[in-house]
Amino acid sequence: MSSNDNIVLITGASRGIGAATARLFAKNNYKICINYRKDLDSASYLANEIIQSGGQCITVQADVSVEGDVLRLFETVDTELGTLSVLVNNAGVLRTQSRPDALSAERINHLLTSNVTSQFLCCREAVKRMSTKYNGRGGNIINVSSGASRTGSPNEYTDYAATKGAIDTLTIGLSKEVAAEKIRVNCVRPGLIYTDMHADGGEAGRVERLKSKIPMQRGGNPAEVAEAIYWLGSDKSSFTTGSFIDVTGGL
């Protein structure tokens, strides 16, 4: 593929890791679709930044846990940008820190649909466009999981960690199913990264509190995670599928 043919859809791309990933793909001449759920201002700001730098970018509001929204999102990419070549499954949520014995079914189900159903739906639509089985030309899917899938995030986010464990399993299974159809499926597991997500969980300074437990003695930056995502989405990782890159500072 020439650089002009490269089109990337990044879910949850209005801020944090998603936004850093959009910037990096744009610098490498990809056409960008920024998906966002509710933060129109941030999505628009990022899109304008990319366009002013000479890139091509669209924004699409969609809740990727809702099937109808996912269909509309992918159809918009088809119409406005062209054939998708890279999907970055980045959208995800967490709730206030809690132990499992205090969790409600509503909270558990919200995380499952937001973090797991969403990635399954987006993978489904990406495969339908990329797979040689459907006359596609191949492509790359990068799922964003979390280092929490390995640690379980005890006393804080076991529900979130469990949803990310499901993403790890999805990555392994799907990668084997579509490898012969010219689709590579890989996963990045960020650790303690300086993003707004920690504030969503009720502790904006969480990385500062925990950084002494990281072997590198610091938190990570979204741009550092974006580099791993970009490598997996590029031809430089052409013999890599079903693999995981832990961007956790050694934790």
170/101 Cα distance (integer angstroms)? 27
Q: Which two tokens stand for residue 39?
A: 């933060």
134 catalytic per annotation: no
Average predicted confidence (pLDDT) for the chain: 95
* pLDDT exceeds 50 at position 3: no
What is the share, in percent, of the chain residues with pLDDT greater than 70? Answer: 98
Domain residues for 214? 3-247
| Per-residue pLDDT reduced to its tens digit, 32-82 | 999 999 999 999 999 999 999 999 999 999 999 999 999 999 999 999 999
Confidence label for 167 from pLDDT (cuts 50, 70 and 90): very high
Report percent pLDDT > 90 for the chain. 92
Which strands sit side by side in the sheet containing 244-247, from one edge to the other?
A: 57-61, 31-36, 7-10, 86-89, 139-144, 183-190, 244-247
> How many distinct structural domains can be found in the chain?
1
Does residue 90 register a pLDDT over 60? yes
Whether 1 has a pLDDT exceeding 80, the answer reads no
Write down the pLDDT at residue 196: 83
Q: How far apart are CA 23 and CA 48, in angstroms?
A: 11
Which pLDDT score, from 0 to 100, does residue 200 have?
75
The number of residues making up the chain comes to 251
- Say which of 30, 36, 157, 160 is annotated catalytic: 160
Residue 4: per-residue pLDDT: 53
Whole-angstrom distance, CA of residue 174 vs CA of residue 183: 9
| pLDDT of 8 strictly over 70 | yes
pLDDT of residue 37: 97
Is 85 buried (19+), middle (13-18) or exposed (0-12) by CB count in 10 A?
Answer: buried
What CATH number has the domain bearing residue 139?
3.40.50.720
pLDDT digits (tens, 9 = 90+) for 168-195: 999 999 999 999 999 999 999 999 999 9
